[in-house]
């Protein structure tokens, strides 16, 4: 299984120095994308409270284009070679900026259509504002992909049962929750997961939660594959 070794945030900070050699193709976005689309490596826009980001950050990447009708209805066409290593994490981001103890609720619903081939995961990527901690929630995954760190066993939290992995990429701690069965739609109660990490395990303190991202961590999608977020909502109080 491929091992994830660097986070998107550390890669993004290195972006000006990267020479990825990514070939940004001419593939057109779907016809339904009437609002925005981009094939730029770092193409991004803000729509109705969400920030969309094409985010082709890994070495050896191929072509990728993102389209959006809104921040909650968007998709990606990606043609990345059948080689190891994460090539991209196209995503939609909602900023929270609340401490764990001050949050009354933090939930998200998702509905996606993903390919049956390729190597990828569909995941939430949740960060504290200092980027010391990264919490990943994989709702489905396919092919030669795997989380960073070592298994901590299974836990049922937020409406799902997960296998938990704990590790570090050298820049930040990474806690990965892999759903024990694939799901293309559902609702995740994120706050109990954060409280479990903080209170039950003591792996982090009362961090301020900054970004809640949702997208597709693509390792390979040779020939061109479509990833569609039919609907996404992130809500907090």
User: Which contacts of 8-16 are long-range, i.e. CB under 8 A and separated by 24 or more positions?
Assistant: 8/55, 8/57, 8/89, 8/125, 9/127, 9/131, 9/134, 9/171, 9/172, 10/169, 10/171, 10/172, 11/57, 11/58, 12/55, 12/57, 15/42, 15/57
* Residue 172, domain member (yes or no): yes
Segment 92-113 shows an average pLDDT of: 98
In this prediction, residues 82-107 reach a mean pLDDT of: 98
Specify the pLDDT at position 30. Answer: 52
Band the pLDDT of 212: cuts 50, 70, 90: very high
Instruction: Please say if the pLDDT value at position 54 is more than 70.
Output: yes
Structure token pair of residue 67:
């389209």
pLDDT tens digit sequence for 156-178 = 999 999 999 999 999 999 999 99
Distance CA 122, CA 217 (A): 6
CATH number at residue 128: 2.60.120.180
Classify residue 167 by burial, with Cβ atoms within 10 Å: 0-12, 13-18, 19+.
Answer: middle
Distance of alpha carbon 131 from alpha carbon 154, whole angstroms: 25
Q: Identify whether 231 is part of a domain.
A: yes
pLDDT band at 95 (very low <50, low <70, confident <90, very high): very high
H-type helices in the chain, by residue range?
8-13, 190-195
pLDDT computed for residue 208 by the predictor: 98
> If you average pLDDT over residues 126-153, what whole number do you get?
97
C-alpha span between 200 and 7 (Å, rounded): 25
**Entry pTM:** 0.87
Tokens of 112: 């996606």
Inside any domain, residue 3: no
pLDDT (0 to 100) of residue 27: 47
Q: Identify the bridge partners of residue 175 per DSSP, sorted by sequence position.
A: 135, 166
32 confidence band (pLDDT: 50, 70, 90): low
Domain that holds residue 161: 8-236
Q: Where does residue 150 rank: exposed (0-12), middle (13-18), buried (19+ CB within 10 A)?
A: exposed
Q: Are 122 and 140 in contact (CB under 8 A)?
A: yes
Mean pLDDT along residues 36-42 = 97
User: In this predicted model, what pLDDT tens digit does every residue of 103-115 receive, in sequence order?
Assistant: 999 999 999 999 9
Q: Which pLDDT score, from 0 to 100, does residue 87 have?
A: 98
End-to-end CA distance of the chain, in Å? 38
Q: Is residue 2 part of a domain?
A: no
User: For position 13, what pLDDT does the model report?
Assistant: 40
Report the chain's mean pLDDT, rounded to a whole number.
Answer: 89
Number of domains present in the structure of the chain: 1
Residues 219-232: what's their mean pLDDT? 98
Q: Point out the least confidently predicted range of 18-22, 108-112, 223-227.
A: 18-22
């Amino acid at each position: 299984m491929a091992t994830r070794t660097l986070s998107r945030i550390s890669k993004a900070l290195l972006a000006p120095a990267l020479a990825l050699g990514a070939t940004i193709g001419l593939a057109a976005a779907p016809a339904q994308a009437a609002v925005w689309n981009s094939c730029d490596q770092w193409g991004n826009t803000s729509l109705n409270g969400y920030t969309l980001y094409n985010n082709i950050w890994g070495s050896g990447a191929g072509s990728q284009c993102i389209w959006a009708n809104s921040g909650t209805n968007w998709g990606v066409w990606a043609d990345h070679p059948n080689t190891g290593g994460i090539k991209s994490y196209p995503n939609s981001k909602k900023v929270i900026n609340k401490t764990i103890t001050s949050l009354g609720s933090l939930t998200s619903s998702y509905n996606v259509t993903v390919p049956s081939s390729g190597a990828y995961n569909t995941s939430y990527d949740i960060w504290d504002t200092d980027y010391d901690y990264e919490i990943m929630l994989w709702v489905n995954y396919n092919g030669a992909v795997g989380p960073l760190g070592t298994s901590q066993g299974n836990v049922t939290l937020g409406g799902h049962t997960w296998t938990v992995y704990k590790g570090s990429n050298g820049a930040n701690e990474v806690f990965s929750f892999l759903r024990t069965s694939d799901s293309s739609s559902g609702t995740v109660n994120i706050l109990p997961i954060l409280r479990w990490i903080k209170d039950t395990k003591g792996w982090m303190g009362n961090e301020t939660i900054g970004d809640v991202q949702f997208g597709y961590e693509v390792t390979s999608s040779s020939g061109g594959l479509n990833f569609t977020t039919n609907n996404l909502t992130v809500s907090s109080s």
